[in-house]
Amino acid sequence: MAGSVLPNGALTGRRIVDLSRVLAGPLCTQMLADHGADVVKIEPPSGDETRHLGPPFDAAGQAAYFGALNRGKRALALDLSRPEGRVVLERLLEDADVLVENFLPGTLERWGLGYADVLSVRFPRLVHCSISGFGADGPLGGLPGYDAVLQAMCGLMSINGTPASGPTRIGIPIVDYVTGYNAFAGILLALSARERTGEGQRVDVALFDTALALLVPHAANWLCSGRTPGLLGSAHPNIAPYDKFAAGDGEVFLGIVNDGQFRRFCRQIAREDLLEDPRFRTNAERLQHVDALRTEIERTLSRFKVGDLCRDLMQSGVPAGAVNTVPQAFAHPHVAHRRMLVEQDGHRAAGIPVKLGRTPGRPGGRPPRFGEHARQILAEAGLEQDAIDDLFATGVLAGK
């Protein structure tokens, strides 16, 4: 029936082998799992680093950081530096749809598992998603990449902060995070193409590319004007007022993007006189007199409480929001309405941001313990228990 909700996620039946660690890759595969894919997380004997990036730690001793990126997966720990470990990996790839990894470029080739020469030949329907800092070639090819380093190199820090603070790292690992989304999109594009061609392909996602693509509108402004973007704090280089302002009992962010919204804002705060001021009549004029505009706005907003102000502005069609802490943000009733706080199996995390009408995603179970599902996964792949015992005994498999 048109419009009916189906019982399974959009990716039910897809099998993912996840060799990635830390953030971008695990985030990508968690999103695949949220939408129904069977994700097998393969860690090295030392484990995914994020298991140890705490405190805080959960009741099982795993860092909260790890839990944010690995729900809904099954896990085993495998030493891929040994030939026996690579034989197990190839066994798991026989019925896999996607392989995700973020090794330094050349690692799989060194192990005799390069995509072009080996994997694409043995597993022609496999989609191989490679996540790296800079890609495999070029002046920086093959070098390691980390979020904050890419923020610095690609100009993101140069436009984040104030003249007093100087260039500052954006407070979340934004390059890693968006790279995970780019990998997610690339995998879905490759799976869509496979429906037509019957063949998989390689998906190449680099933090470097993501970081440069994030420079909107700063890169476009520079390419057009030749002027180097600078530090604006919370302000916008092209829009005013679009910034954080002090109010009577806290701070509010005003997202006023056109003249109509500015008119409604001025009427709502009883400052229609600003509409007659030639300095503020258009966005271009407001940008030229942004400091004077800030003085007028903050002088007026000091009479308002943040909650009342934001409610009345939003109801009048003026985007405005309180500058909340993380606990305040998650306490908002709209979080529950949008199902953006998951609490199950003793695990609490942010919910699924991509919502499908007919095949809605569903948060998977708690993040796996180290090596927790090794026997189950390998038995499904056809290995006998004696063979699995031998892999544990020789150290090829770690964990339970």
Q: How far is CA 77 from CA 15, 130, 302, in A?
A: 18, 20, 57
CB 39 within 8 A of CB 72: yes
Of 43, 103, 113, 112, which Cα lies nearest the Cα of 77? Answer: 43
Structure tokens at 381: 């792949």
| Rounded Cα–Cα distance for residues 354 and 337 (Å) | 15
Residue 42 neighbours by CB distance under 10 Å: 25
Measured CA to CA in angstroms, residue 384 lies from 20, 83, 90, 371 at distances of 27, 19, 16, 18
Question: Of the listed 176, 209, 249, 389, which one is catalytic?
Answer: 176
User: What is the Cα–Cα distance from 296 to 282, expressed in whole angstroms?
Assistant: 16
Rounded CA-CA distance 261/238 in Å is 16
Q: Is 386 a catalytic residue?
A: no
Cα R_g (the chain), whole angstroms: 25
Query: Which residues partner with 252 through β-bridges?
Result: 245, 322
242 burial type by CB count under 10 A (0-12 exposed, 13-18 middle, 19+ buried): buried
Structure tokens at 352: 């699924």
- Residue 302: what residue type? S
CB atoms inside a 10 Å sphere around CB 383: 16
Residue 368 is classified by DSSP as: P
CB distance 151 to 214 below 8 Å: no
Cα–Cα distance, 333 to 104 (Å, whole number): 43
Q: What residues does 328 pair with on adjacent strands?
A: none
Residues annotated catalytic, as ranges = 176
